[in-house]
Every structure is written in structure tokens, then in C-alpha cells.
A = this chain, B = another copy of it.
Amino acid sequence: MKHIESRANPLFKQLYKWQSSAGRRNEPVLFDGIHLCQSWLDHDRLPRMAIFDAARIEQPALVALIDRLPDELCVTMPGGLLAGLADVQTDQGVIFVCDAPTWTMPKRFEESIVLLDRIQDPGNVGTLLRTCAAAGIKRVLSARGTAALWSPKVLRSAQGAHFALKLYEQLDLVEICQNLSLPIVATTLAKSTDLYDTKLPEHCAWVFGHEGQGVAPEILSQAKLRININHDRAAVESLNVGIAAAICLFEQRRQHRVS
């Protein structure tokens, strides 16, 4: 196992650079913490590099990870150095440096997909990915202006959902919507029908939009169905976008379930 002792080490400098650009296109991504690293291995993938806190490599959870990795991929460093690469909120003694999987876009989508139209908050985006995976969605397409899907905060709140999805980002969703084989279903307050009065298609392209502005008009105008979720508007103006998405996706699941 390689060992890095100093911040001056060229490999550490490289890691630090990657950490700062985490989530940007074509840059490696950093998975922080035992659960994410484990999930990555469970999906039959290897990291470029696995970095461990030198003082903790005897801990059972870390030993279990090390046992699954080729020795040449493993690096140890002092906890203080590792903390400089880690997310502030978790420090579990392990970080994987990985290449985010890239997927080709199929000519036609046969099954439901979810489109994220400029959703800003990384926590919302992460929870959305987790909800999509739970609802059986296989592909999520994200517009330019949406929080970077592979950024540390999105990774943290998605709890491993990234590995169960095919993710596409930095897209021009307006253009994509023009050529979609699936009906587009958008949530919006204006000129829309109540979700529970709507017979949802078995497969569709769901669009969920910006926290403040909602779905872009150029996409809305292409929607086959415009739906709203009836709620107590005297109490709160609107639902959180991740909550709205969950209610829609699970209602579709309910309508089309085989009981």
C-alpha cells in the first residue's frame, strides 16, 4: 500500500485539485464514507484509487473494503490530510476516487424517465435521485443549470442511488423534449389538472423544475399532461420539489401496479 505523508506530495496535490472540482464534467469524483464506497464495489466497479486514514486501517469496516481492493489502488495518509479531502460532515476514514460512469443515450426511451430542469439545491437533487431509484426509474436527465449530479452534497443525500441509475447531465432539455418518444408530464400550477384526477401513462417523461420558477415555459408548452398536486394552499404556498416528485412517481406506481 502506498503512503502519503505530506501535503507537498504531488499525488496529494492532484487529489486536492480533484476534490475542489468535484462534480465537474470529466473530472474524477470523490466518494466520501463507507456506505458510498461499499455501494460502488457492490455495483462491480473499482475506484481509480482508494484512500484510507493510516491510523484507522485496522477498523473492521475499513478492513472489509481493503479486502475487496487490489493493493496497488490503495493509499494511506494521516487523518489530518484525509480530512482536507473529505466532506466536512462525514469523516469515516475512507475516500474513493472514481470515474463517474458515462452512458450513451438510447435512440428511444421505452420506460419512464425523469428530467430535472435547473433544480438548484444539491440536497433536493440528491433526494430526487434516491426517490427516482426507489420508484423504479432507470434514467435521469438533467438540464444545464441543475446542481452537478456527482458533487459531494448530491452524492450524500442520494445515499447510493447514483449507482442504480443511468445519469445524463448538462443537457439542453428543450431540444431533448422536441424529440422524445415518451409523453411529457410536467407539474405546474397553471392550467393543470389534479394529479388524482389524471390517468397517468404507464411510461412517460416526468419534468420537475426549478425551486422558484418551476418548469421552463419552452418545456411546459411541449407537455402532454400538466398536473398539480392539490394541497392546503392557505397553509403553505407550495410543496418542496422533491416531495412533489415523490408524490407523482409513487402515484404512477400505484396506478400501474400489478396487485
Contact for A243 among B131, B136, B231, CB less than 8 A: B131
Q: Does the CB pair A133–B236 fall under 8 Å? A: yes
Number of copies: 2
Contact for A134 among B131, B164, B231, CB less than 8 A: B231
Interface 1/0s, chain A 222-240, versus B by CB < 8 A? 0000000111101111111
Q: Does the CB pair B197–A236 fall under 8 Å? A: no
Task: Flag whether A108 is at the interface (Cβ < 8 A).
Answer: no
What are 20 contact pairs spanning A and B, CB under 8 A? A127-B240, A127-B242, A130-B239, A133-B236, A134-B232, A134-B236, A134-B239, A134-B243, A136-B232, A136-B235, A161-B236, A164-B234, A165-B235, A196-B254, A196-B257, A239-B246, A240-B242, A242-B243, A246-B247, A247-B250
A-to-B contact residues, CB < 8 Å: 123, 127, 130-131, 133-136, 157, 159-161, 164-165, 196-197, 229-232, 234-240, 242-243, 246-247, 250-251, 253-254, 257, 259
